[in-house]
Amino acid sequence: MLYRKIIDELKKWTIDDDRKPIILRGARQVGKTTAVDIFAKDFDQYIYLNLEKKEDAEIFERDLPINDLVEAIFFLKGKKRLPNKVLLFIDEIQSSPKAVETLRYFYESAKDIHVIAAGSLLEAMMGKLQPHFPVGRVQYLFMYPVTFEEFLIAQKEEQLLEVYNKMPLPSFAFPKMLNHFHKYSLIGGMPEIVNKYIQTFDIISINPIYQSLKTSFQDDVSKYGRNDTAIQIIRHAIETAPFEAGRRIKFQRFGKSNYRSREMGEALRTLERAMLLSLIYPTTVTRPPILPDFKKSPRLQFLDTGLLNFFVNLQDYYFKFDNLHSFYKGILAEHIVGQELLALNIHTQRKPSFWVREKKQSNAEVDFLCPYKYYLIPVEVKSGKAGTLRSLHQFIDRADHPYAVRLYSGELNKTESITPNGKKYTLLNLPYFLAGKIYKYLEWLIED
């Protein structure tokens, strides 16, 4: 089973004096249940409830007092409650509004039990269920596909993992690290895919799993939509989103359809709540806080780059090019970087943002913005070891600091640069595979 870094956060949670039940949020098949199973090994007793099973869900429908409910759960699972360390995992909690409401009572009256709940359709189903959600009585952790660091852990690449976490990265590690990141970008981070790949190292053998995941997402459509029309529109959104991933989109006629902006916007936002995709809106500001401009076109980030490669039939191209920016208009390089940046925020659902300056005769767009202390740091994902930085220069000219980052296929270095308007700045050239370490390197860049 893959070890996930979120398990480290769960271990910190166990020693919190004001521990609240955790709701673990993430799309289907990103490894929530497996992570909790691994975490459960630290407990004396582990009770698993799956509320898609009628007998597990019914226990919450009885409106029992919390102490009686706890005893009933132990009885249902044939276990005797002992004065020891207990973990209760309530999976697919969106299937029972009563169970969602009950979480507050675990916090108020049964704090000796460690409670984790999960539900990949939780956000999408809340509109239907409308329970009295226990605001302030639960905390959240967000889970995403396997990151590049977790990919190295899964492959037991201990030496690579050691230098990956070394600041700054030693230059001798660059070729091998880039090769592994190339493979990671090809297969993506869905745990079942990663598990199969590290067993076989055979791309062909994992294609049926991609197809199975694709089918399961499509089959879930009926759970997202409020009626037959909404289901049809959401199905179109799922099937066409991979082809629009990495690009700025318009809701009107999305995916070459005849659907209107309102209904397609609703469909895409439903999929976003299910964490199958993210709608990343631009900003026009150059200093914190980031204020997304919801009137402008968002960029679509799909759940996983490996799934994207399979859906759009791009796998063969990985073997023809040694640079992620060499094909598919450079979109894949930006997409995998976006995936790594999204996974950095496990305590809040904070999406990355990008910067635009849209004028009639001169548009500019910077791929990502990273807030660091009092600054917004522009981040460009550029082809190879070169690439023009016109948009980044426009941002730097307007910013109140002299720092910028380029993510590319070259080695780590810092260069002193100057914009065409004469502003000096420091450019951090960072290999793609260090996107997940970007805040560590911003500290290294700015505080050094």
Q: Inform me whether the pLDDT recorded for 4 exceeds 70.
A: yes
Going by C-alpha positions, the residue among 296, 318, 6 that lies closest to residue 142 is 6
Q: How far is CA 121 from CA 146, 264, 376, in A?
A: 20, 19, 33
Q: What is the mean pLDDT of residues 77-105?
A: 91
Domains, the chain, with CATH or none: 6-142 (3.40.50.300), 148-278+300-344 (no CATH), 354-447 (no CATH)
Q: Inform me whether the pLDDT recorded for 386 exceeds 60.
A: no
Q: Map tokens 């799309």 to a residue.
A: 27
Q: Inform me whether the pLDDT recorded for 192 exceeds 70.
A: yes
pLDDT at 331: 84
β pairing state of 86-91 and 413-418: unpaired
pLDDT at 210: 94
Q: Where are the beta strands (DSSP E) in 175-221?
A: none
For the stretch 119-152, pLDDT in tens is 877 766 655 555 567 778 899 999 999 999 999 9
pLDDT at 120: 72
Q: Inform me whether the pLDDT recorded for 256 exceeds 70.
A: yes
Q: 315 is written with which tokens?
A: 């796998």
For the stretch 314-349, pLDDT in tens is 877 766 666 665 655 678 889 999 999 999 999 988
pLDDT tier at 224 (50, 70, 90 boundaries)? confident
Going by C-alpha positions, the residue among 330, 334, 323 that lies closest to residue 409 is 323
pLDDT at 326: 60
pLDDT, greater one: 351 or 120: 351
pLDDT tier at 72 (50, 70, 90 boundaries)? very high
pLDDT, greater one: 22 or 224: 22
For the stretch 155-170, pLDDT in tens is 999 999 999 999 999 9
Write the single-letter amino acid at 42. D
What is the pLDDT of the chain when averaged over all its residues?
91
**Edge-to-edge strand ranges of the sheet holding 375-381:** 282-283, 353-358, 363-372, 375-381, 403-408, 424-431, 413-418
Q: How far is CA 235 from CA 218, 221, 268, 273, 304, in A?
A: 6, 6, 10, 15, 18
For the stretch 34-68, pLDDT in tens is 999 999 999 999 999 999 999 999 999 999 999 99
Q: Inform me whether the pLDDT recorded for 404 exceeds 80.
A: yes
The sign one gets for the Cα dihedral 116, 119, 120, 122 is negative
Q: Inform me whether the pLDDT recorded for 97 exceeds 90.
A: no
* Cβ-contact 206, 186 below 8 angstroms: no
Q: What is the mean pLDDT of residues 217-246?
A: 90
pLDDT at 327: 59
Q: Inform me whether the pLDDT recorded for 209 exceeds 90.
A: yes
pLDDT at 20: 95
pLDDT, greater one: 347 or 222: 347
Return the minimum-mean-pLDDT range out of 196-200, 328-332, 399-403.
Answer: 328-332
What angle (nearest 5°) sits at the alpha carbon of residue 209, between those of residues 157 and 257? 120
pLDDT at 84: 87
How far is Cα 445 from Cα 448, in angstroms, rounded to an integer? 6
Q: Inform me whether the pLDDT recorded for 229 exceeds 80.
A: yes
CA dihedral 334→146→28→127, nearest 10 degrees, is -60
How far is Cα 263 from Cα 244, in angstroms, rounded to an integer? 17
DSSP code at position 170? P
pLDDT at 321: 63
Q: Inform me whether the pLDDT recorded for 289 exceeds 60.
A: yes
How far is Cα 5 from Cα 250, in angstroms, rounded to an integer? 35
